[in-house]
Chains A and B, each alone.
Chain A
Amino acid sequence: MPAVLTIDPRSGVPIYLQLIEQVKRSVALGILQAGEQLPTVKQLALDLTVNPNTVAKAYRDLEREGVIETAPGRGSFVRADGAEGSSRAAAGDVARDAIERAVREAKSVGLRRSDVRDLLEQALNHWLPEEA
């Protein structure tokens, strides 16, 4: 399982945020399933070679957001009750971040609102065509 989580320490994004994003993405894609156990903080810290408190912070935030739950003495698990809801929300978070980045980028290179709307429309038609 840890193989699906990777981090890029040279990125400007804090490592704990990278971990949060990756767990959400894995839940959204079904790589991590409802009730599945996550590695312990220490194990994930060693697998990824990152500070254990950084992993602990990511787990705490994921727990607060309802993506995972921690049973004292047993470990952390993907939430069973909200797996569907939290995975949909997680997918939404991942997609919203990506779209916001893209729109910001389009704005910074001087595109107008109508240009960006055309591009989004094209992308939607290509990747998510309306069902007949």
Chain B
Amino acid sequence: MSTITIDRIRKSYGAYAAVDDFSVEIPAGTVFGLLGPNGAGKTTTFKAMLGLIRLDGGAVRYDGEPLAPATFERIAYVPERSVLYDWMTVTEHIQMTRSAFKGFVPKMALELLTQFNVDPRKRVRQLSKGMRTATMVALAIARQADTLILDEPTSGLDPINQRHVLNLMINESARGATILFSSHQIGQVERAAERIAVMDRGKLALEGTVDDLKYGRKIVEGIFPTSDVPLDEFHRDTRLLRIDRDGRIVRLLTKEDATAFAARLEGMGASGVRIVDLNLEDIFLYAVSPALQTADVVEGA
């Protein structure tokens, strides 16, 4: 088990800041979901964690130690794009992985490939995109590594195999592995991850446990008799992340204490006051969406 510390990492490509002062800690033994729109910096972060790119600043540490050759034996990585060799068979990839990593269990890789319906005699060029993803996942899981870094490990897979990948992650987690993964399928993150971070334009937009975020974050909505009710007191409240006014309708996005805000709206004369639960997709979209014209954004997230 490794605690992974990503400490203020920065990486620019020319004038483009792909990752800009991003920090997050992944506690040992957790399943951690990294979310973000395309281009948010997720893949760059994964590459930095594996030493595949040179950072402009900051550091990645495993149990407090910088990445060293010995660390690689403990980390299994599934990249976003296939790194399999087109002209080689799946069996040859198993042999290659066995010679590269001591902990690799070829028999487990073969079992997993059978579960994914991948014929190991096939050459990679004969495999669909989903089958390639499944092959990389099978090779990574069979490494029985301490740490799994999975960049879109379900992309291109059918729903049955997507579910199977999630269950493999859950199984690895129950074994004690630390798992960091990204996915655009937020429902999957909602199931498998206990903590998430949202990246947006290279920066951390939001971090927390899925349960706490869903438990605390609510929209509190009320309708006022007029469209000019002063909302100054809400602007000073640090629990509120966002205040939207749409004519007579006022919507508050709060981190906590939704019932207290509902009571306050009612006390100010609002009717039709309701509290709306947010799922992870709503929370994600609020964290990364630019301010609406009508919104007074209190804080980025």
Q: Which residues of A contact B (CB under 8 A)?
A: 9-17, 41-42, 45-46, 48-54, 57, 104-105, 107-110
A12-B218, A17-B211, A54-B210 known; 17 other A-B pairs, CB under 8 Å? A10-B190, A10-B279, A12-B276, A12-B282, A16-B211, A17-B215, A41-B174, A49-B166, A51-B191, A51-B193, A51-B194, A52-B170, A53-B31, A54-B211, A57-B211, A104-B274, A109-B272
CA distance A91 to B214 in the complex (A): 25
Most B CB atoms within 10 A — which of A10, A42, A51? Answer: A51
19 A-B pairs (CB sep. < 8 Å): A9-B280, A10-B281, A12-B276, A12-B279, A14-B210, A14-B214, A14-B215, A42-B174, A46-B170, A49-B170, A50-B192, A51-B31, A51-B173, A53-B173, A54-B210, A57-B211, A104-B275, A107-B273, A110-B272
CA distance A22 to B117 in the complex (A): 35
User: Given A12-B214, A14-B215, A42-B174 in contact, is the A49-B192 Cβ separation under 8 Å?
Assistant: yes
CA distance A53 to B174 in the complex (A): 9
Q: In the bound complex, do residue A46 and residue B191 qualify as a contact, i.e. CB atoms below 8 Å apart?
A: no
Q: Is B289 at the interface (CB under 8 A from chain A)?
A: no
CA distance A14 to B167 in the complex (A): 19
- Provide the residues of chain A in CB contact with B12, threshold 8 Å: none
Q: In the bound complex, do residue A15 and residue B211 qualify as a contact, i.e. CB atoms below 8 Å apart?
A: yes
Q: Is B277 at the interface (CB under 8 A from chain A)?
A: yes
Interface size on B, residues (CB 8 A): 32
**Which residues of B in the span 203-232 have a Cβ within 8 Å of any Cβ on A?**
210-211, 214-215, 218
- Provide the residues of chain B in CB contact with A49, threshold 8 Å: 163, 166-167, 170, 191-192
CA distance A13 to B277 in the complex (A): 7
Rounded to whole Å, the gap between the CB of A45 and the closest CB of chain B is 5
- Provide the residues of chain A in CB contact with B272, threshold 8 Å: 108-110
- Provide the residues of chain A in CB contact with B278, threshold 8 Å: 12
Q: Is B5 at the interface (CB under 8 A from chain A)?
A: no
Rounded to whole Å, the gap between the CB of A4 and the closest CB of chain B is 19
Q: In the bound complex, do residue B170 and residue A45 qualify as a contact, i.e. CB atoms below 8 Å apart?
A: yes
CA distance A17 to B166 in the complex (A): 21
Q: Is B82 at the interface (CB under 8 A from chain A)?
A: no
Rounded to whole Å, the gap between the CB of A35 and the closest CB of chain B is 26
User: CB-defined interface of B156-190 with A at 8 Å, one 1/0 digit per residue?
Assistant: 00000001001100110110000000000001001
Closest residue of A by beta carbon distance from B282: A12
Q: In the bound complex, do residue B277 and residue A51 qualify as a contact, i.e. CB atoms below 8 Å apart?
A: no
User: Given A9-B190, A11-B279, A109-B272 in contact, is the A45-B211 Cβ separation under 8 Å?
Assistant: no
Closest residue of A by beta carbon distance from B217: A12
Rounded to whole Å, the gap between the CB of A23 and the closest CB of chain B is 16
Q: Is B271 at the interface (CB under 8 A from chain A)?
A: yes
Q: Is B30 at the interface (CB under 8 A from chain A)?
A: yes
CA distance A110 to B223 in the complex (A): 11
Cβ contact of A12, chosen from B192, B194, B277, cutoff 8 A: B277
User: Given A12-B214, A110-B271 in contact, is the A46-B167 Cβ separation under 8 Å?
Assistant: yes
Q: In the bound complex, do residue A9 and residue B170 qualify as a contact, i.e. CB atoms below 8 Å apart?
A: no
Most B CB atoms within 10 A — which of A42, A49, A50, A110? Answer: A49
What are the 7 A-B residue pairs with the smallest beta carbon separation, nearest first? A12-B277, A14-B211, A108-B274, A9-B190, A42-B174, A14-B214, A51-B194
Q: In the bound complex, do residue A9 and residue B174 qualify as a contact, i.e. CB atoms below 8 Å apart?
A: no
CA distance A13 to B279 in the complex (A): 7
